[in-house]
Structure 1
Amino acid sequence: MAPRILLPISLVLLHAHALAAAAFAPGELVRATRGEMLQLEGKNYVGAAKGQEFPVLLQDTARGLIVVPFYKKDGAPVSVTIPADAVEAAPHDGWLDLLASLEAFRDQRYDLARQLLARSAQDEKYRALATALAPRLQGAISSRSAASLGTLRETATQLEKLGHPCLALALDEGVDRLGGTTAPATKLNRAELSQRVATSTRALARTRQAVAMRCLINANDEIHTGLEAEPNRPELKALQIKVQKDIEEAAQKCADADRMRRIFKGTPHALTALEMGLKLCADYPQLIALKKEMSGAFEERTAPPVTPAFLTAAGGGDAKVLTEGHSLYTNRCTECHDLELIDSRSVSSWEKMVGNMSRRAGIDGEQQARIMAYIMAAQKVVESKPQE
C-alpha cells in the first residue's frame, strides 16, 4: 500500500479535475526525462536526476505539474511536484501492471483495474496469476455477492502465502470498499500486513531516490529493509542486482585509484578513476576517504581557486568575474551533484550541461556566463599543469 501523504488543500480540490484530464493515473510509475528540480510548496527543494522514477499521486493539469512522493532524510514523507513535460511513463512490465491493477481495484477505479490486469496477462511471467485474478475480480465487481467477495478474501490469503503481501493487501482492502458492510470478514492479519507493505513501499521509494543520487550504499541498506518486510517484491530484487553490480564496479575503481596514485605520474589517472568510482557510488566509504586524502589534487582538477597563479596560467581575465564564477560553480552546482574533473568535458559539453543546470537551479543568464568563463579559464589552468 502506498504511504498516505497529505496533499496541499489546493491540490486536493483539483483532484477530480486532474484525474479527468490526466495523462498519468494515480499510482502509475513515471520517470524523469531530464534533470529537473523538484519543488516543495512552490520552492526549489531537491534535484531529480534523469531517469529517476516516481509513483504518481495526482496530476495538476491546470499548472502542468505531477505530484509525487518524496522522503526527507529523516524518513518523513512529503508531496513534491515536477513539471509534467519532464516525465514519461516508465517502461511497463507484468508485475507493475499487476500491482497497479489491484491498487486501482482498491481505489474503485474498476475500468483501469481491468485494463491493467489484461496488460499484465501479456507478460508470460505473470500471465497465470493475472488470468486467474481477472474473472474473480470481474465477478465480484458485477455481482457484489457474498460468494464472490468471499472468493476474493480467499484469493488475498493465497496471495499472501505466495509471498506477495502488497497484492494481498490491495485486494483485501478493495473487498472492503466494494462490499461495504456486506463484505465478509478479512482472513488476514491486516495490521501486521499493512506494516510490512508500508515498510517495503517506503524502502522502495527511498531506494529509487538513493539510486538517483548514486548513494548506493544507502540504497543497499534500504533494499535489505524492504526485502526483510516483503522478501519476494520484484522491484526491490531487480534493484538489488543492479545496485550490487555498481557497488562492485565502484570498489574496483577505488582499488585502481589507490594503486595508480602510488606510481610515478599516476595522480591524473588516479583522479580519473576516483571520479568514475564516485559517479557510480557517491557514498562508497573508501572512495570518500581516498578523495579526502587526495583533496588538494582533486580540487586542482575539479575547481582550482582563482589566485594570481591561476590568472597567469589562464592567460589573464577579470579576477572578479572569475571569482564569482568559481563561487557559483562550487556552491550552486553542487546542490544536486558532485563536481566533475574540469577537463573531462569539451567546452560545448560544459555549455550544454551548465545551461540545463541553470534552468533547474534558477541561475540567470549573467551568472551562467560567469560560470562558463570560470570553467573555460580553469580548463586552461589544468591543461597547463605538468603531469605528476
Structure 2
Amino acid sequence: MKRNKSLKSLLEILLVSTRLGLTSFGGPVAHLGYFHTEYIRRRKWMDEKSYADLVALSQFIPGPASSQVGIGIGVMRAGVLGGIVSFLGFTLPSVLALILFALILQGFDVGNAGWIHGLKIVAVAIVAHAIIGMANNLTPDLKRKAICLLALVVTLLWQTTFSQVLVILLAAGFGFLFFKHHAQADDSKLEFPISKRLAIICLTIFFGLLFLLPVLKEVTSSSWLALFDSFYRAGSLVFGGGHVVLPLLEREFVPTGWISEEQFLAGYGAAQAVPGPLFTFAAYIGAVINGWQGGLLATIAIFLPAFLLILGALPFWDSLRRNTKVKAALMGVNAAVVGILISAFYFPIWTSSILAPIDFAFAAILFSMLVFWKLPPWMIVLTGAIGGTLISAFL
C-alpha cells in the first residue's frame, strides 16, 4: 500500500512538473509564480511560509533558483526521488528542444543568417531587462553600487573564469565588512525531510568535484571530461539565476574555439523561446560541440551542483539564515553578480549584436515590447527572428 502511494505521488509530481516545463515561459521569477499557483494555491503541497523559505534558500546558494525550488518541492512531497522526478519533468522539454535546435542549426551558415542576427538583438533586449531588475533589487545603496562597479571593471578588463571567482570572493569579503551590522536574521524555523548525514555527503561530493575535475582534466586530456568540468564549474559559481551563467559559459567556450560567437548568441536567443530554466542553454552548447550526447552530458554537469547544493543545504538552512555574517557576505556577492552581468552585456552581447543604428532601433523596439507592453518572451523571440530576416533582406 505504501509503495503504491509512493508511486502515485511520483507519477503526480512527474505530470504536474512536465506540464510546468511545457508552459513556464518568462524566466526564474515567472517560474516561481507558476510554481506558487500550481503547487501552493491549487494543490497545497506546502504552506505559504515553507514555500517562501524554500525560495529564500534557492536565492542564497549558487545555481538556477527556479530549478532548485522545483527540486525542493519534489523532495518535500516524495523524498529525494521526488526531487529528481520534479527536476526531469520541468527541465527535459526545453533540453530536448534546444538539442534539436542545435542539431538543425549545424546545417546552416549561422554567421550570415538574418534571423540569427535578429536572435542576437533579442539577447540585447532580454539581458538589458534582467540587468535593470537585478540592479534595482541588489544594488540599492552606494556601497553595493561600488561593489557592482568593481566587479564590472575587473571582469571587463580581465576576461577569465578565474577573475569571476576572485570577484565573487572579494565581494563576499566586502559584504561582510560593510553589512555585518545591517543584515537581519530570520527567527522562524523550518524542517526538511533530509538527514544531515546525506547533506554532508552531498556537500562533500560538490566541493570534491569542484576541485578534482580541473586536475583530472589536465591529467587525462579527455575532451569529454573537459566539457563536464566547464559546465560543472559554471553551475557551481552562478549566483543570481540563468542570465548570469551567460558570461561564465561564453568565456569557457568561445575564446577556446569550441563554439563560435554567432552560434553562442543564436542559442542564447533560442533559449528565450522555450519554456523552463535558462540553464538548459547548456544543452544547446553541448549539442553543438558533441552532438546529442554532448547535450545530455552538459545538462547533467550544469545541473548537478544545483542538486548537490539544495540537498546539502536543506538541513542547515535554519542555521545559515540566522547567521547575519553569512547574509552580509551574500549581499556583497549579489551586488557583484550585477556587475558581472553588465560586463557580459557589453561583451560579447552588445559588441556582436549592435552593429548599425537600425540594430539599436530594433533592440529598443524589442525592449519596449518586453518591458512596457509586457509581451511574453516567445513573442519577442519570434519578432526578433522575423525582424532580423527583414533587415538582412532589405538593407
- Quickly name the TM-score band, shorter chain normalised: under 0.3
Query: TM-score, structure 2 length as denominator?
Result: 0.26
Q: Which is helix-richer, 1 or 2?
A: 2
The structure with higher relative contact order (CA 8 Å, sep 6+) is 2
* Structure (1 or 2) with the larger CA radius of gyration: 1
